[in-house]
Structure 1
């Protein structure tokens, strides 16, 4: 680790980010003592905003985006901290739906650096503190914090949230969180607080989540018990929430538009706001849901042939991607996949979820330190599908090959990682849509 005995200063955001990558020996170091000590020194533990913590294996980003959209539509000011980014670091912090200029991040980093002394912080921890610094400075009404890893020991968990959310639960980051679903559920439930709303959006949630919530006397609000949602047509869905009071009353929205995210996450977002006793205007809710877009989630890049990207990188997200692709198949020819993944992901189980919807595969290595070689993907697919599989030396070649072999009615989907999506988007940014 680079030992820093005095405060550093840099003039550009790139220089700051390079510095943050050097000052701690590990990319991840779970634990709250270091980051909480620095937050206390910086007076970031008592921010007078409503704070919502969002944990889960998948769906954190889309749930945060939905919360943000609904709150903005109702006239609130909102700060969002999320990760990872696709193009630039600035994506990790939004205020009122907009990224901040470099100088804002530079100022926040300098503020944290001047106060941290010799306390070591990871890249993520430094960024989380800087986000809180910016939200406090801008005096936002609501702060939405997307948990980085797990929950109980994640840097975002230093705050005292007004509501906490668990979106979904799956086997991911098993080296850090445990290799069974109950242990992972326990780690994520660590974001709950006594006597505060604890929204469980995960279907068939592990018992450890409910047990933990009951043990600490959290105000548990569970999907399919306290709130529900269901499709009413191909274009609409309805929502119901039983108020957590003595009235036995319900809040219903009978005709909501289909969002560009899983309905489960939209329903969880609505429930979270209702649990905080917000009154939601139905028309504003409809408008915010219908206009909702999330970068990197079934995002179209080209029209003919259709080229989409999705950050799906584990079995849960791959299952949802498979359902989306299957719905689109009726209007398309064959579906061609461009795939590159990280070596520490459950590659085989993720690919298995898409075997029945992909007609041709093009696999590539991922050019980052944690990137997996294309040979692992090729070997698994070769043993488990009779469809055409091709290997390339990089994602640029994969994109070119997909575009050469596809006809105008085909659909190309690039997926496997945030890094995969970022690289594909970079390759295609100068093409006419």
Structure 2
């Protein structure tokens, strides 16, 4: 371990390299290590904590609550992952990514507090985020689960409210091969007497069963006062949670029809904490209109139209296909796509192939990254047109060169793919 004097001079990059070297495994689920360091550091927040799990939609729900609580005048800390461009995006305080100084100070606090405990990269980052939020004295903390729920480092902190956004197949090597098994893992964030909000319209039985077994306050997506729900009315929508009703709401600024589901879950959590964190209708409307989250069906202005979406599993691909079908006409759709080899690549391709004319496939870094040539072979075998490139940047450059003003370019498949292309796309559009 470096000495204290050396640690004090560490940059953010130095710290991230240090985190990567601490533990033999990138992922090792379990809470014992995190609980031990929480105890040693006294990392027990005195403000409400909202924990959000789910296959897809977690980031959107967190972002909506973040904007609404900020509009209501509260100081808000949000921890989410992974990041698109810079690690700082994972730790947001009052809508802004954490500063270099605050992040390094939090890393140093965890390093000093962990003793001989070998934390994983995610565990170390989770503890540092909480240290930063407590140092900043925020009013509410929103934590996005990294993987699953029950054994995720985020779950070491006691929540005041819990949300599950959706449940589908992803990370099967860690969570199980069925929705029932994955649902049980995600339901691990529930607590006795604490709201257990579930926005999946058809959750596996294991989710409700676990909520009821531990005595959580079960709030499913429903059409009555026993849960929460929403209804679209022309260009507005109404939502409710129990006896609390929200009427004539603006459509959220995040694109995609599924965002109403996410927004309803966010409002349910806000309703559950209304006594502790009072929020006005004005703050809700403003938050919904101003919410931003890069890479979630993000449409850049200009021609050709560029869409960026971090969707990387079948559940997300189905939603992406639905959103594409609702867009206006385009002569051709080019797809810049790079994926992880451990994802259900075949299902993602099958769901989107009918919406894409030309695939520009990019290799992502080993060991997890899928090879572009192998991806191209899958497309060609289906009768599609595909080209392979060594990096997302090269695939993007080729797509932008070939696409005409009446075409569109879809960038998707991984946070890495979107994160590499996003600044290039923004720069290219700014110069045209």
Q: Which residue of 2 aligns with 1:282?
A: 281
Q: Which runs of 4+ in 1 moved over 3 A?
A: 4-8, 426-430
Q: Which residue of 2 aligns with 1:238?
A: 238
Q: Tell me the CA shift for residue 404 of structure 1.
A: 2.1
Q: 1:217 aligns with which of 196, 204, 215?
A: 215
2:379, 2:385 within 8 Å by CA — same for their partners in 1?
no
Q: Tell me the CA shift for residue 49 of structure 1.
A: 0.8
Q: 2:388 aligns with which of 391, 395, 398?
A: 391
Provide closer, same or farther for how the CA distance between residues 334 and 236 of structure 1 changes in structure 2, counting only shifts above 3 A: farther
**What are the ranges of 5 or more consecutive residues in structure 1 without an aligned counterpart?**
244-249
Rounded Cα–Cα distance in structure 2 between residues aligned with 1:413 and 1:5 = 45
Q: Which residue of 2 aligns with 1:402?
A: 399
Question: How large is the Cα RMSD of the aligned pairs?
Answer: 1.7
Rounded Cα–Cα distance in structure 1 between residues aligned with 2:102 and 2:164 = 30
Query: What secondary structure, in the 3-state scheme, does the structure 2 residue paired with 1:134 have?
Result: helix
Taking the TM superposition and a 5 Å limit, the aligned residue runs for 1:297-308 are 297-301=296-300, 303-308=302-307
Q: Tell me the CA shift for residue 256 of structure 1.
A: 2.8
Q: Tell me the CA shift for residue 13 of structure 1.
A: 0.9
Q: Which residue of 2 aligns with 1:358?
A: 356
Provide closer, same or farther for how the CA distance between residues 5 and 14 of structure 1 changes in structure 2, counting only shifts above 3 A: closer
Q: Which residue of 2 aligns with 1:205?
A: 203
Q: Tell me the CA shift for residue 36 of structure 1.
A: 0.6
Rounded Cα–Cα distance in structure 2 between residues aligned with 1:239 and 1:105 = 37
Q: Which residue of 2 aligns with 1:260?
A: 254
Q: Tell me the CA shift for residue 232 of structure 1.
A: 1.9
Q: Tell me the CA shift for residue 413 of structure 1.
A: 0.6
Q: Which residue of 2 aligns with 1:247?
A: none
Rounded Cα–Cα distance in structure 2 between residues aligned with 1:285 and 1:102 = 31
Which TM-score applies when normalising by structure 2? 0.93
Q: Tell me the CA shift for residue 426 of structure 1.
A: 4.1
Rounded Cα–Cα distance in structure 2 between residues aligned with 1:185 and 1:163 = 18
* 1:72-122 deviation digits (Å, cap 9, x = unpaired): 111111100011111111111011101121111111111111111111100
Q: Tell me the CA shift for residue 241 of structure 1.
A: 2.3
Rounded Cα–Cα distance in structure 2 between residues aligned with 1:6 and 1:284 = 47
* 1:251-301 deviation digits (Å, cap 9, x = unpaired): 132343243151111110000110123554223212211121101112234
Rounded Cα–Cα distance in structure 2 between residues aligned with 1:368 and 1:94 = 29
Q: Which residue of 2 aligns with 1:125?
A: 123
Provide closer, same or farther for how the CA distance between residues 255 and 15 of structure 1 changes in structure 2, counting only shifts above 3 A: closer
Q: Which residue of 2 aligns with 1:246?
A: none
Query: What secondary structure, in the 3-state scheme, does the structure 2 residue paired with 1:338 have?
Result: strand
Q: Which residue of 2 aligns with 1:179?
A: 177
Provide closer, same or farther for how the CA distance between residues 87 and 176 of structure 1 changes in structure 2, counting only shifts above 3 A: same
Q: Which residue of 2 aligns with 1:195?
A: 193
* 1:123-147 deviation digits (Å, cap 9, x = unpaired): 1000000011011111111000000
Q: Tell me the CA shift for residue 6 of structure 1.
A: 6.6
Q: Tell me the CA shift for residue 388 of structure 1.
A: 2.4
Q: Which residue of 1 aligns with 2:89?
A: 91
1:348, 1:377 within 8 Å by CA — same for their partners in 2?
no
